[in-house]
Amino acid sequence: MGNLLYVFELLGTLLFAISGALAVRDRDTDLFGATFTGFVTAIGGGTLRDIMLGSYPLAWVSDIRFLYAIILGVFVAYLFFKSLVRLSRTFLFFDALGISLFTILGVEKALSLGMRPEIAAIMGMFSAVMGGVIRDTLIHETPVLFRKEIYATACLGGAVLYLVLNYLGVDRDVNLIISSSLIFIVRLVAVKFKLALPNFKR
């Protein structure tokens, strides 16, 4: 389990760094601003989760590979910027993959610290979406959370599925793959078919 989780965490960090750096696509942001945005997007959710759980040291502070994953992600975004932005949905794709992995990682982390399943589900969702919320707040866009298509709801659904399968004794590596796939698919389908929850205002 540990190894797959760790690989997913590095991969999710890299993907979020790409999505953060690509997020500046409509602006005249310099190299550093894009790197900063990539960095904050990549560490934001996990950092907030660990601070709320009181779990120290933070992963990226104690393990330098996270920093390298971020730099690699920003570099990839820089090299392939035009192609990545031209392909519609590229940004979406990286973001969707990132939230899928981070949700389950967040749930696992909270469970391993002895949290109740309800709190673990929230922490999973938080670690997935808050990097993007911070990114969007920084660049003055409406947080992706408040846009039409299903987003954080998919994370919460995947988190609950993971908790249920976990309770039923499903192997953790298998569960990790099933539950994060669910999030990824729901998110892509939601965007493709413009699926949205009902409005709060009736």
Q: Which stretch binds a copy of itself (CB under 8 A): 5-13, 87-95, 147-155, 165-173?
A: 147-155
Can you give the C-alpha Rg of the chain in angstroms? 16
Establish if 201 lies at the interface with a copy of itself (CB under 8 A).
Answer: yes
What does the alpha-carbon distance between residue 33 and residue 48 come to, in Å, rounded to a whole number?
Answer: 21
- Residue from 6, 11, 65, 67 that binds a copy of itself (CB under 8 A)? 67
What does the alpha-carbon distance between residue 190 and residue 186 come to, in Å, rounded to a whole number?
Answer: 6
- Residue from 2, 82, 83, 193 that binds a copy of itself (CB under 8 A)? 82
Establish if 6 lies at the interface with a copy of itself (CB under 8 A).
Answer: no
Residue of 173, 1, 188 lying closest to 99 (CA atoms): 188
- Residue found by looking up tokens 């409005």 in the block: 199
Establish if 90 lies at the interface with a copy of itself (CB under 8 A).
Answer: no
Establish if 41 lies at the interface with a copy of itself (CB under 8 A).
Answer: no
- Residue from 7, 112, 146, 174 that binds a copy of itself (CB under 8 A)? 146
Establish if 198 lies at the interface with a copy of itself (CB under 8 A).
Answer: yes
Establish if 30 lies at the interface with a copy of itself (CB under 8 A).
Answer: yes
Q: Which stretch binds a copy of itself (CB under 8 A): 12-20, 76-84, 90-98, 161-169?
A: 76-84
The distance of closest approach from Cβ of residue 133 to a copy of itself in the complex, given in angstroms and rounded to an integer, is: 7
- Which residues does 1 contact at the CB level (< 8 Å), separation at least 6? 172, 173, 176
What does the chain come to in residues? 202
- Structure tokens, 24: 């500046």
What does the alpha-carbon distance between residue 153 and residue 162 come to, in Å, rounded to a whole number?
Answer: 14
Residue 96 half-sphere exposure toward CB, CA atoms < 13 A: 21
Q: Which stretch binds a copy of itself (CB under 8 A): 2-10, 18-26, 86-94, 175-183?
A: 18-26
**Residue 96 neighbours by CB distance under 10 Å:** 22
Binding site for a copy of itself (CB under 8 A): 21, 24-25, 27-36, 39, 47, 51-54, 56-58, 61, 64, 67, 78, 81-82, 115-116, 118-119, 122, 133, 137-140, 142-143, 145-146, 148, 150-153, 156, 196-202
